Amino acid sequence: MRPSIRFLAFVPVLIALGSVVLDAALLEFFGAFFFPVLGLLAYVGVGLLLTLRLPRHPVGWLLLSAGALFQLALAAIASASAAFTRAPGTLPFAEVALLIGFAWIPALGCVFVAIMLFPTGRPPSRRWRLPVAFVVMGNAILLLAAWLGLREFPQPLGVQGVSLVTLANPLWIDGPLGMLLSYVYWSPFSYVVYLIPVAAVLVRFRTAVGNERHQVKWFAYTSSIAMVFFAAAGVVPAFFSYLSGLGPTAAIVAMDLIPISVAIAILRYRLYDIDLLIKRTLVYGATSAAIAVTFLVGLVALERALSALTSGSELAVAASTLGSFALFQPVRRRVQDAVNRRFDRSRYDAARTIDSFAQQLRDEVDLDDLTADLIGAVGNTMAPAHASLWLR
């Protein structure tokens, strides 16, 4: 690729950096959320890295564009809030900022198209060219529906503010067409558009082999963690009000996992470590969840049982903590055993074979039978083309 084309990659980088500078000038709007906003630069960094290393690969260009559009949308929303609600008339092009605030729609479109083209840069098959085009057209329709179908734009006073100011849409179309576009924006149409990339990943994972399968595993692994973050962002603040600011931060962290996994997979950096990561995450995640449930249930039960003996809950907390520590190793071993049976069957069968052979050693006294058992154990665990035993 010509160097002039490669230098085009720095255009979205400059847009993203300029947006961040504007965000810093409007820091009052973002507050503590400004640092998670900086985390979205991961899309820009990963996209620039892939573009410079693999300039013909479309995923790098898509992630780079997505990062620039995300930053541009946030800067435009903050600018519109400052222009219309905080200091009216102080910033130019306020109406334009209202419309640019919806740049997150094409940004999501770039991310989802990148997912459909990951990791080869092509759809899973020729038949998937039409779904890719449908996702592109669907995002274009959603953007037009936001620009032309919404009568008013709600403007928050801050990222986590609850007070809203509604502003008239200068491009709103009255009549049946406007009503149709408004219905499209608020309808489940967007969910259908955004579920297509998930189906593409599932199809690719089912048909992929070798390195490509491990590349998809990286994306599936980080996507699963991202879903846990999104779930925590919605559930935890509902029970713990002092963690209400967790939602936006967790969402940004979850979104940053996607470009990181894409870079590792496409550049094939320690590609085969994904199996170990998956197993470790399953083991310690399930163990931690089981211990946490045990601690909470034990705490509630002991508080009720000891309420007649003590007025405080310190004894119940101490007993529940000690019980959780005592259960950690047994629970971890059981979970490890279950994970090995499900995800590492060959290694689990090999371990079972070695354990069985070790038990035979204690009862076997005949040397010929012991030799046959040893060769059989080696054949079952390592599957060599030929095995023999030489005794001095």
Q: Dump pLDDT digits (tens) for 260-304.
A: 888 888 877 666 666 666 666 666 666 667 767 766 666 556 556
Judge residue 390's burial from the number of C-beta atoms within 10 Å of its C-beta, 0-12 exposed, 13-18 middle, 19 or more buried: exposed
* Ranges 160-164, 167-171, 295-299: which has the least confidence: 160-164
* Per-residue buried b or exposed e for 208-223, using 16+ beta carbons within 10 Å of the residue's own CB: beeebebbbbbbbbbb
First to last CA, the chain: 65
Banded model confidence at residue 136, pLDDT cuts 50, 70, 90? very high
Mean pLDDT along residues 207-213: 80
Whether residue 229 is predicted with pLDDT greater than 80 in this model: the reply is no
Average pLDDT, the chain: 76
Task: Please give the Cα distance from 334 to 240 (Å, whole number).
Answer: 32
Contact 23, 76 (CB under 8 A): no
Q: Picking from 72-86, 270-284, 334-348, 357-371, which range would have the lowest pLDDT averaged per residue? A: 334-348
pLDDT mean over 120-149: 90
pLDDT (0 to 100) of residue 162? 52
Which of residues 240 and 84 earns the better pLDDT score?
A: 84
Contact indicator for 373, 359 with CB cutoff of 8 Å = no
HSE-up of residue 287 (Cα within 13 Å, Cβ side): 22
pLDDT at 332 over 80: no
Q: How far apart are alpha carbons 121 and 55 in whole angstroms? A: 11
Within 306-366, where are the H helices?
A: 314-343, 345-363
Q: What are phi and psi of 118, to 5 degrees?
A: -75, 140
Task: Report the phi/psi class of residue 167: left, alpha or beta, with left for phi > 0 and alpha for psi in -120 to 50.
Answer: beta
Write down the number of H helices and E strands in the chain: 17, 2
pLDDT at 178 over 70: yes
Instruction: Name the packing angle between helices 274-305 and 314-343 (round to 10°).
Output: 150
**Pick the residue with more confidence: 281 or 342?**
281
Instruction: Give the model's pLDDT for residue 71.
Output: 92
Please check the confidence at residue 242 and state whether its pLDDT lies above 60: no
How far is Cα 297 from Cα 301, in angstroms, rounded to an integer?
A: 6
Structure tokens at 336: 């490890």
**Tokens matching residue 56:** 């013909």
And the tokens for 225?
Answer: 């963690």
Q: What single-letter DSSP state applies at residue 310?
A: -
Compute the average pLDDT of residues 174-180. 84
Cα 67–Cα 68–Cα 72 angle in degrees, nearest 5: 120
CA-to-CA distance for 377 and 359, rounded, in angstroms?
Answer: 12
pLDDT for the residue numbered 61: 93
Residue 57: left if φ>0, alpha if ψ -120 to 50, beta else—which one? beta
Give residue 105's pLDDT.
92
Neighbours of 270 (CB within 10 A): 11
- List pLDDT tens digits, range 9-40: 889 999 999 999 988 888 888 877 787 788 88
Q: What is the pLDDT of residue 258?
A: 83
pLDDT at 312 over 60: no
Q: Are 130 and 120 in contact (CB under 8 A)?
A: no
Q: pLDDT tens for residues 357-379?
A: 677 666 666 666 677 777 776 66
Query: At 378, phi and psi to the nearest 5?
Result: -65, -40
Confidence band for 44, pLDDT divided at 50, 70 and 90 = very high
Distance CA 139, CA 195 (A): 13
Sequence-ordered list of residues with C-beta below 8 angstroms from that of 242, at least 6 positions apart, any chain: none
Residue range 3-269 in CATH 1.10.760: no
